[in-house]
Amino acid sequence: MSIQNLIESKVKEGFFNLYQIEIPTVEFQATRKEFEGDITVVVFPLLRYKKGNPVQIGEDLGNYIVENVTEITRFNVVKGFLNLVVSDTFYNEFFNTIYSNALYGFVSPKADEKAIMVEYSSPNTNKPLHLGHVRNNLLGYAVSEILKASGKKVYKTQIINDRGVHICKSMLAWQKYGNGETPESTGLKGDKLVGNYYVKFEQEFQNEYSIWLKSDKGEKKYLQYKENSELERISLWNKIGENYQNNKEDFFSDCKIRKEFRKNYKDAYFNNYSNLGNEVKLMLQEWEGENKEVVSLWKTMNSWVYSGFEVTYKNMGVNFDTLYYESDTYLLGKDVVAQGLEKGVFYKKDDGSVWCDLTADGLDEKIVLRSDGTAVYMTQDIGTAIQRVKDYSDVGGMVYTVGNEQDYHFQVLFLILKKLGFDWAKQLHHLSYGMVDLPSGKMKSREGTVVDADDLMVEMTNTAKEISEELGKLDGYSVAEKEDLYQKIGLGALKYFVLKVDPKKRILFDPKSSVDFQGNTGPFIQYTYARIQSIIRKAEFDYSNPVSIALHEKEKELLKQLELFPETIQQAAANYSPAIIANYTYDLVKEFNSFYQNVSILGEEDPDKKTFRVQLAKKVADTIKLAFSLLGIEVPERM
């Protein structure tokens, strides 16, 4: 039991014994530097249960705790804050308990506990992974590792979007303009080669579209579409326009139909008039009809992409336990719709389409089956979730790592699965995250302006190399050792920069500032770890035996930070937030550096103190390494 949990139980016990009142919670905070104490009980919230002078209540509780908790030696009360002093004996015993525990803070899963399946990455096979995928992968992997460390059994999975119009665009462009190019003949990774043809299709389509707009027929159709859109806007205005009597211009400027007119017309052109559009749709129909040539081309180009993805995942340091493919799952869920109709979860409209009415739950009506009997993405996601539980019977919950533009989709998905009566649907979580921006602006896949994940990782390694060489601390390193170090620093900087931010927040990523050896950065923490390894290498004496000493203030502060690690893992798991682990590690490193600057380690003359301080430094390094392993970050032994 941690000292905080022990004190909490005794405060509740004392409150009842002193005042015959039960209290549900106790609020703690770190003791302010100007007062004596190691942990502070905030008395003010207790006044809602017992009226009175907060100083007197603090005195009463302080006396009770000192009398009943041997680990608390004394106390003081400042206004409504009860500051408690924890004995050196407690911290010595605590440290000797954890010192030899190589997985301190980690909890083994219980045999009978349900597993959690975490989905992340889930790319399309028409382009390489980009910066947005980097955040997705790093988040999904880190949350998986944190959940495992908290005592959960975890399956890592992804669903690969390997079919559809966007995939056929790359296939058609390669077929028309590729001249038989392959990854081998071009020297390109397969995913990059296929991605180039996705961009090529868009270029050719844009050219076709521009020519069409300038033609007599195209201009006529464009004006007709624009007129119809205008009528739609006017109709919408007539319905709700009274609320905008003084803001008509604002209304029209914000009107979704007007704002998206050009995009909508471009889509209409693709679907109705475009030669390239017709060829792509025909190719998709042939794929669905299992045309041998089309399926063969699809398999070939997808295999190129998978080989490319494998290299990227390996370099990024992420992995998966199981894979799902949209080509296998896109028909799933249709049988569930029939069952849902019988249960009254869904209803059928006159045109034969099937819907789920969620208006009573504050949402809208959602289509799950079109009038022609074809499924929508929601149907597929329902079926895939059910299939996963069939495949892995011990799964009792799922985490979907998907950007925040899909928040509403997952609200609807989870609600429908609950209505269908699945118990595990109560344990579904959308790990929603904000987009990643660059100083150069927004990325667009079809225009080829995305930041390629492979290129980004190379850039981070090169940036680490430049800065490391400027610092000039790599004497005696071989070329291979330097390259390994640059990669660890560069990828560590990238991962830490992305993961230290709360997932819900948007990120403006600056590669240069992330590779800084000062401040809240990955390299700063890695450097502290390497510094400790240097201390350990120089400690040429036996420091393996446990000792007990009178603690220096800085030693005590460091021990308090170490004591928080198990609780931090549980908190990060409960919140699906690697940022909690990242920022804990930064706080631990800051505390160590303060200790290092104020207390002599190897220069200490007292043998027990020297032994303890080397042990303490080593445990801090071990904890840094464990914490960073949860984030997928490696730590170098030397820097």
**Per residue in 100-129, pLDDT tens?**
999 999 999 988 899 999 999 999 999 999
pLDDT tens by residue, 583-615: 999 999 999 999 999 999 999 999 999 999 999
- Tokens matching residue 368: 């799950």
pLDDT value at 238 more than 60 = no
CA dist., res. 422 & res. 357, Å (int) = 18
Identify residue 134 by its one-letter amino acid code.
V
Whether residues 476 and 571 fall in one domain: yes
pLDDT tens by residue, 41-97: 999 999 999 999 999 999 999 999 999 999 999 999 999 999 999 999 999 999 999
Whether residues 73 and 138 fall in one domain: no
pTM: predicted TM-score of the whole model, two decimal places: 0.89
Whether residues 215 and 299 fall in one domain: no
What is the pLDDT, as a whole number, of residue 516?
Answer: 80
Q: Is residue 354 part of a domain?
A: no
Whether residues 11 and 146 fall in one domain: no
What is the pLDDT, as a whole number, of residue 63?
Answer: 97
What is the pLDDT, as a whole number, of residue 239?
Answer: 54
Which residues make beta-bridge pairs with 324?
A: 159
Over range 318-338, report the average pLDDT: 94
What is the pLDDT, as a whole number, of residue 442?
Answer: 47
Q: What is residue 79's DSSP assignment?
A: T
Whether residues 102 and 63 fall in one domain: no
Instruction: Tell me the percentage of the chain whose pLDDT exceeds 90.
Output: 79
What is the pLDDT, as a whole number, of residue 263?
Answer: 66
Report the number of distinct structural domains present in the chain.
3
- Quick one: pLDDT band at residue 168, thresholds 50, 70, 90? very high
Secondary structure, 3-state, 254-321: HCHHHHCHHHHHHHHHHHHCCHHHHHHHHHHHHHHCCCHHHHHHHHHHHHHHHHHHHHHHHHHCCCCC
Helix crossing, 522-538 with 607-630: angle to 10°?
Answer: 150
Whether residues 450 and 570 fall in one domain: yes
Per-position b or e across 290-316, b if 16+ CB within 10 A of its CB:
eeeebeebbeebbebbeebbeebbeeb
Instruction: Using the structure block, give the residue that is written with the tokens 């005592």.
Output: 151
What is the pLDDT, as a whole number, of residue 258?
Answer: 52
Q: Would strands 115-119 and 154-160 be described as parallel, antiparallel, or unpaired?
A: parallel
**Separation of CA 213 from chain center:** 43
Whether residues 473 and 619 fall in one domain: yes
Whether residues 416 and 436 fall in one domain: yes
Whether residues 533 and 591 fall in one domain: yes
**Domain containing 77 — which CATH number?**
3.30.1360.70
Other beta carbons within 10 angstroms of residue 233's beta carbon come to 17
Residues near 371 by beta carbon (within 8 Å), at least 6 away in sequence? 349, 351, 352, 353
Instruction: Among 69, 86, 103, identify where a domain stops.
Output: 86
CA dist., res. 82 & res. 178, Å (int) = 75
Comparing 326-335, 368-377, 433-442, the range with the smallest average pLDDT is: 433-442
CA dist., res. 152 & res. 573, Å (int) = 9
Whether residues 299 and 271 fall in one domain: no
Q: Is residue 380 part of a domain?
A: no
Residues near 429 by beta carbon (within 8 Å), at least 6 away in sequence? 397, 398, 399, 400, 576
pLDDT value at 262 more than 90 = no
- Tokens matching residue 330: 């896109």
pLDDT value at 233 more than 60 = no
Average pLDDT, the chain: 91
Alpha-carbon distances, residue 548 vs 87, 462, 597 (angstroms): 12, 47, 22
Whether residues 299 and 282 fall in one domain: no
CA dist., res. 150 & res. 152, Å (int) = 6
The candidate with the shortest Cα–Cα distance to 526, out of 469, 575, 487, is 487
What is the pLDDT, as a whole number, of residue 446?
Answer: 45
User: Residue 281: which domain range?
Assistant: 196-289
Instruction: Among 235, 259, 289, identify where a domain stops.
Output: 289
Whether residues 305 and 233 fall in one domain: no
Instruction: Among 243, 269, 289, identify where a domain stops.
Output: 289
Residue 272 sits at the vertex; the CA angle it makes with 267 and 274, to the nearest 5 degrees, is 80
Determine the straight-line distance between the first and last CA of the chain, rounded to whole angstroms. 37
Residues near 494 by beta carbon (within 8 Å), at least 6 away in sequence? 134, 456, 457, 460, 511, 514, 522
What is the pLDDT, as a whole number, of residue 257?
Answer: 47
The candidate with the shortest Cα–Cα distance to 156, out of 141, 173, 137, 174, is 141
CA dist., res. 227 & res. 221, Å (int) = 10
What is the pLDDT, as a whole number, of residue 435?
Answer: 87
CA dist., res. 158 & res. 331, Å (int) = 18
What is the pLDDT, as a whole number, of residue 443?
Answer: 42
What is the pLDDT, as a whole number, of residue 444?
Answer: 46
